[in-house]
A and B are shown apart, each in its own frame.
Chain A
Amino acid sequence: MELLIQSIINGLIQGGFFALFAVGLVLIFGVMGVVNFAHGELVMIGAYTIWLVHAQHGLPYVPTLLLAILLVTGIGLLMERFLFRPNRNDPLAGLICSIGVLFILQVIATLVGGDGPSKQVPPPLEGTLVVLDFIRVPYQRLFGLGVSVLALLTLWYFLTRTRLGWALRAVALDREAAALQGININVISFIAIGVGAGLAGLAGGLMAPLTNINPHMGHNVIITAFIVTIVGGVGSLSGAVFAAVIYALFHTFITVYVGGTVATICGLVLMVLVLIVRPTGLMGMRVSE
């Protein structure tokens, strides 16, 4: 029972992180049509920023977190301007370019941090919340959950309540029709990848004190993001959030009761099943051809 409740809480917190980077991937794919294979590496760069600037050089955690977001957003904007925009009509070329970025970012991380064992960042928030004697949640994890929820709510507000958000969703639905309405596709693409990459940087920064940091950590991130995106529905942000929480619970439970590798296998099989039974995902709409 204790293990069960503890697993549910850990799964929910994990779900918040999953949602942050999956939503970014969905946003970039929706607006620009590009599968950003380097998305996991953007998360990795966010985590490395925390390790280098906060843990190594002593800048407080929260300013470093902002720095991580800015840095990763900058990388995202550069990718859009120099890689994705010239290949706007060729999604495969965009995908391949992002693989190139993936390699480059991994090497940068190796050069900065060395190829040794994984890095650990001591949690900036000490202490643990204890409820009813057996539920233990470190404050650092609570902080991560709170920030994730706040970021997702802000994104939801931006997309549904502001003109710029409407424009962005219009581009995701039909790029040409949106352009004919006078929406500047290049500006919207900048915003989409800026927000998507920023969320990835935030996710990396929040996860940094809770996980092992190494140049190859992006691999698991991208697998998770793919599963969440497909299960939730490729074009659907709310679907991605929903699927992130479901999948995080699913993954946490199988990891606790069986093992991590089996959990990932089950996740992948689940994803293939969803693709077969309901290719548009749990909450997806038909994506325009």
Chain B
Amino acid sequence: MTRSSGVKRLFAVAMLAGLLILPHLLQFHHQDLLIFLTINVLVVTSYRLVTLTGEWSLIHAVMMGVGGYTATLLFKQFELGMWFTLPLAGIVAAAIAALLCFPLFRMTQFYFLIGSFAAGEAIRLCWIQFVDPFGGTGGLSGVEPPLIGEIDFLEPVPYYYLTLAVVGLCLYVLYRIENSRIGLILHSVHWKAPLAESVGVDTWRYRALAFIVGSFFVGVAGGLKVHYLGTITPNQFGVGFMVFILIWVIVGGYNRFYGPIIGVIVLTLFDESIRSLEELRPAIYGAVLIASILFLPNGLESLVARIRQLLGKGAAPADTSFTDK
């Protein structure tokens, strides 16, 4: 074992210990926030998988809603427990994504952006229109977290551990996907699509694959959220939330795996610190967004890379070979 991998392991253990102790250091309100933050980490990381092929979709928030509504309906209609609703939430979201691939991936770039936005709004408006299963604008409520023996997951701390475990597992899978052969092909589809096609890569299939897998994981995130919150409404997954996903990913930076995660954590902390400003908050968000585009075009992750370089880690940013425009 080399010295640097030893340091890495130590860092990983310290981080895990920190994540496990964290909820005990917080008040109730902040424990709540921690759970949503953990879920949002999965949202942005799964979004990054979709964007790996260079297509920015605006349907990701709605896909989370698809997972959430699936979990809700399965729980309420068939009394299925969370162990079934979570994977099924992902599977249904993935299935709908698979259906949408046929219209959506006939388009690229601007058209895809608008097309995915339209498809998402149409799905979301259906939740409002069809009151019978979906509950209309008021949504549905009465979803409960699981109960295992003595542990009551209605409490934030146990539910946080559950969320952490599920999200951790999903992040591991997403990380492995990105660093596998498939991940490399996804990068090649983004940066050199004609070249990739010339060596036999079916770019349509890989764009669709990234979209379906990303939707699966965000569907799981939707299930996690609804089981804790207990209620679901169409407006939770509107353009507003989609814009926040975009902001987290862009401010964090999307060239590395950890970029969006840094983005969502830093901005959630920032949001919490300006809570007292009430109605001014969106404007401050807007200003931060513009400032980060103008002054930090590669996101917060580029700061991390710079710090690592200054510390003499020598590990020059390995991923940037893909990002030379």
Residues of A within 8 A of B (CB): 29, 35, 83, 86-87, 90-93, 95-97, 99-104, 106-108, 110-111, 115, 219, 223, 226-227, 229-230, 234, 259, 261-262, 264-265, 268-269, 271-272, 275-276, 279
Contact = CB atoms under 8 A, between A and B. Distances in A.
A275 B121 contact: no
A95 B122 CA distance: 22
A59 B126 CA distance: 43
8 contacts: A91-B110, A99-B289, A115-B279, A223-B121, A227-B118, A229-B114, A275-B106, A279-B107
B190 to A, nearest CB: 13
A103 B103 contact: no
Contacts of B118: 226-227, 230, 268, 271-272, 275
Contacts of B246: 96, 99
Nearest to B290: A100
B100 to A, nearest CB: 9
Contact of A272 (B122, B243, B285): B122
Of B110, B113, B286, the most chain A CB neighbours within 10 A belong to B286
Contacts of A234: 110-111
Nearest to A89: B325
B52 to A, nearest CB: 14
Interface in B90-132: 103, 106-107, 110-111, 113-115, 117-119, 121-122, 125-126, 128-129
B201 interface: no
B166 interface: no
A204 B239 CA distance: 22
Nearest to B100: A272
Interface residues of B, number: 36
Given A83-B290, A100-B286, A103-B283, A262 B106 contact: no
A96 B110 contact: no
Nearest to B243: A99
B12 interface: no
A97 B297 contact: no
A261 B282 contact: no
B315 interface: no
A268 B283 contact: no
Contacts of A103: 282-283, 285-286, 289
A275 B287 contact: no
Interface string B280-305: 10110111111001100100000000
Contact of B125 (A86, A91, A106, A268): A268
B118 to A, nearest CB: 4
Nearest to A38: B286
Contacts, number: 111
B56 interface: yes
A35 B113 contact: yes
Contact of B111 (A100, A102, A268, A275): A275
A110 B286 CA distance: 15
Contact of B103 (A259, A262, A276): A276
Given A104-B283, A268-B119, 11 more contacts: A35-B110, A99-B286, A100-B288, A103-B289, A106-B282, A115-B279, A264-B121, A264-B125, A275-B107, A279-B107, A279-B111
A189 B260 CA distance: 33
A219 B235 CA distance: 13
Given A93-B297, A104-B286, A272 B119 contact: yes
A7 B179 CA distance: 57
B117 A107 contact: no
A100 B282 CA distance: 9
Closest CB pairs A-B (n = 8): A103-B286, A107-B283, A100-B286, A100-B290, A100-B289, A268-B122, A103-B282, A104-B286
Of A86, A92, A102, A230, the most chain B CB neighbours within 10 A belong to A92
Given A96-B250, A107-B279, A110-B279, A275 B115 contact: yes
B283 A269 contact: no
B299 to A, nearest CB: 11
Nearest to A259: B129
Interface in B223-247: 239, 243, 246-247
Contact of B282 (A92, A95, A107, A269): A107
A110 B282 CA distance: 11
A275 B104 CA distance: 8
Given A97-B289, A97-B290, A226-B117, A265 B126 contact: yes
Nearest to B279: A110
B124 to A, nearest CB: 9
B243 to A, nearest CB: 6
Contacts of A91: 110
B290 A262 contact: no
A102 B111 CA distance: 21
Contact of A265 (B56, B114, B122): B122
B131 to A, nearest CB: 11
B106 A99 contact: no
Given A96-B289, A272-B115, A261 B129 contact: yes
Contacts of B288: 100
Given A100-B287, A107-B282, A276-B103, A262 B121 contact: no
Nearest to A99: B243
Contacts of B247: 96, 99
B283 A108 contact: yes
